[in-house]
Structure 1
Amino acid sequence: MLFGRLLPREGNFFELFNQHADRIVEAARAFSNLVANYSDIEKRESYNREVDTAERAADRITQEVNRMLHKTFITPIDREQIHSLINTMDDVADLIQDSAETMALYDVRHMTDDIVRLTDLSVKCCERLKDAVALIDKLSDAATAEAALKTCEEIDKLESDADRVMRSAMSKLFREEPDVREVIKLKAIYELLETITDKCEDVANLIEGIVLENS
């Protein structure tokens, strides 16, 4: 399929996908900085605001894509694929914001090594997601389609790594943490962070479907 000939005059869906992926990475990196500087309240609040700003920008892009879908007669890829992709990407941004908000709401006092590991894997997933999204508009090229599939496989592997870290973290938490309140707090954080990688894998699966259908 020659995507370029089918782009709607109203705008470029692929460019909006790329802009959204940029905001996801911005949110993920700001969250990583929040975790790294958690003991500094001023920096923590500053990075929290950066997460919020990136998430709100991602929301606006999602709304624009959905608005364009209603106005565009011919779309470069299947309409349902566009709708599913942008909304699943938006779920990633939402989960990053949810993780930052939950830490504040639950008054988490310190970061554990497992939070740091899961955060690192989440950032890597988001960065690879951005790389995969950037390839979607060039899938008519066989080498690009293959690169997209390889990137999606890397996201799958990172998600599996995060799942293993979370299982280990949960086991240690229930065996070693005597404070029930801390168990509840940390369990919620671990699950949210692992869900970020789950949702990135969902995006990767959607991209794989687009590749197979359109390359």
Structure 2
Amino acid sequence: MIFGKLLPKDGNFFELFNEHGKYIAEGGRAFVQMIQYYNTPDLREKYAREVDNAEHAADKITAEVNRLLHRTFITPIDREQIHGLINAMDDILDLLQDSSEVMALYDVQHVNEDVVRLGEISVKCCERVQHAVSLIPKLSDPAVAEAALKTCEEIDRLESDADRVMRSAMSRLFREEQDTRELIKLKAIYEHLETISDRCEDVANLIEGIVLENS
């Protein structure tokens, strides 16, 4: 389908994508701040609430996109692409919230440099997802389509960075951690954090497909 087709008066898919993308970036930034200030309980709780707020707000947008799909005869891109993209985006915030909750449920008392590094990669991925999503309405412009593909490549590289950091962290954990309970906790946290970049890569792959089919 061609970009720029008129949408029904009750909504705009691209605007909803863009709004959701902003919540992904906000949630990612709040999540990494929660990690950075983890040893300050008041700030840790403050940023955890911000992650929750971003996830709840994004859930409403996801629901609105799915409702809009049922009411719309002509969509700007394929229905399957819309459905797949909004749900893949929602998975990112779900996982940010899950990771925050896991750290609280496991009663983690401190975070190490590996957790901080994985969190920093996660927020970079989230911000690049927001940027890539913001370009979707203008993909008919070859320069914009190229920029979107470049951003998706950046997300792929960040996901590879997260893989390397996690492998190194796991190796160090099993060599050095003597407390079995701490080992189990940190292993689960590493896996959650690395999966955030995986979900961002899923969105990047979907956007690459949209670019190739619609630009």
Do the structures match in fold with TM over 0.5?
yes
Q: Residue 146 of structure 1 aligns with which residue?
A: 146
Instruction: Give the whole-Å Cα distance in 2 for the aligned partners of 1:94 and 1:189.
Output: 15
Deviating runs (4+, > 4 A) in structure 1?
A: none
TM-score normalised by L of structure 1: 0.98
Say whether 1:156 aligns with 2:156. Answer: yes
Instruction: Give the whole-Å Cα distance in 2 for the aligned partners of 1:69 and 1:51.
Output: 27
Matched to 1:177, the amino acid is E
Instruction: Give the whole-Å Cα distance in 2 for the aligned partners of 1:5 and 1:42.
Output: 48
**Deviation at 1:3?**
1.8
Instruction: Give the whole-Å Cα distance in 2 for the aligned partners of 1:48 and 1:121.
Output: 18
Matched to 1:130, the amino acid is Q
Q: How does 1:104-183 map to 2 (within 5 A)?
A: 104-183=104-183
Say whether 1:11 aligns with 2:11. Answer: yes
Matched to 1:152, the amino acid is C
| 1:2-41 alpha-carbon deviations (Å, 9 max, x no partner) | 4222433321100100100101111111111111111111
Q: Residue 73 of structure 2 aligns with which residue?
A: 73
| 1:153-209 alpha-carbon deviations (Å, 9 max, x no partner) | 000000000000000000000000001100110011100000000000000000000
Q: Residue 100 of structure 1 aligns with which residue?
A: 100
Any idea what SS the aligned residue of 1:4 has?
Answer: coil
Any idea what SS the aligned residue of 1:119 has?
Answer: helix
Instruction: Give the whole-Å Cα distance in 2 for the aligned partners of 1:143 and 1:65.
Output: 27
Any idea what SS the aligned residue of 1:7 has?
Answer: coil
Q: Percent identity of the aligned residues?
A: 72
Does the aligned pair in 2 maintain the 1:10–1:72 contact within 8 Å?
Answer: no
Q: How does 1:11-50 map to 2 (within 5 A)?
A: 11-50=11-50
Does the aligned pair in 1 maintain the 2:5–2:75 contact within 8 Å?
Answer: no
Q: Residue 195 of structure 1 aligns with which residue?
A: 195
Does the aligned pair in 2 maintain the 1:34–1:43 contact within 8 Å?
Answer: yes
Does the aligned pair in 2 maintain the 1:21–1:89 contact within 8 Å?
Answer: yes
Instruction: Give the whole-Å Cα distance in 2 for the aligned partners of 1:198 and 1:75.
Output: 28
Matched to 1:79, the amino acid is R
Does the aligned pair in 2 maintain the 1:8–1:75 contact within 8 Å?
Answer: no
Q: Residue 62 of structure 1 aligns with which residue?
A: 62
Instruction: Give the whole-Å Cα distance in 2 for the aligned partners of 1:87 and 1:156.
Output: 19
Q: Residue 52 of structure 1 aligns with which residue?
A: 52
User: How many residues align structurally?
Assistant: 215
Does the aligned pair in 1 maintain the 2:2–2:77 contact within 8 Å?
Answer: no
Instruction: Give the whole-Å Cα distance in 1 for the aligned partners of 2:95 and 2:5.
Output: 35
Instruction: Give the whole-Å Cα distance in 1 for the aligned partners of 2:55 and 2:9.
Output: 27
Does the aligned pair in 2 maintain the 1:27–1:54 contact within 8 Å?
Answer: yes
Any idea what SS the aligned residue of 1:3 has?
Answer: coil
